[in-house]
Amino acid sequence: MTSAERVMAVLRNEEPDRIPHFEWIIDTKVRHAICPGSTTEEFTVRMGLDAMLTAPDFTSEQVAPNRFKNEWGIVVEKGEEQHSTVVEPVIRSLDDLKTYEPPDPHAPYRWDSLKNLVARYKGEYAIGVHLNDVMSLPRNLMGFQELMMAFCMEPELVRSLVEMSVDLNIEFAEEAARHGADFVFTGDDYSSGQAPFMAPDTFRELMYPGLKRVFNGFHNHGLPIIKHTDGNIMPLLDMILDAGIDCLDPIDPLGNMDIAEMKRDYGDQLALKGNVNCATTLVDGTIEEVVNETLGVIKAASEGGGLILSSSNSIHSSINPANYLAMISTIKAYGKYPIKLNFDTSGAGEAFT
10 Å Cβ neighbour count for 209?
17
At a CB cut-off of 8 Å and minimum separation 6, what does 351 contact? 291, 329, 333
Cα dihedral sign for 198, 204, 207, 212?
A: positive
- Residue 80 has a pLDDT of 74
C-beta of residue 295 within 8 angstroms of C-beta of residue 301: no
- Residue 343 has a pLDDT of 59
Closest CA to 196 of 250, 135, 247: 135
Report the first-to-last Cα separation within the chain, whole angstroms: 29
C-alpha span between 215 and 228 (Å, rounded): 13
C-alpha span between 315 and 29 (Å, rounded): 10
Render pLDDT for 204-223 as a digit per residue (tens, 0 to 9).
Answer: 999 999 999 999 999 999 99
Render pLDDT for 159-187 as a digit per residue (tens, 0 to 9).
Answer: 999 999 999 999 999 999 999 999 999 99
Render pLDDT for 298-333 as a digit per residue (tens, 0 to 9).
Answer: 999 999 999 999 999 999 999 999 999 999 999 999
C-beta of residue 171 within 8 angstroms of C-beta of residue 106: yes
10 Å Cβ neighbour count for 287?
21
C-alpha span between 277 and 251 (Å, rounded): 10
- Residue 345 has a pLDDT of 56
Mean pLDDT across 229-248: 98
C-alpha span between 82 and 66 (Å, rounded): 12
Its pTM stands at 0.95
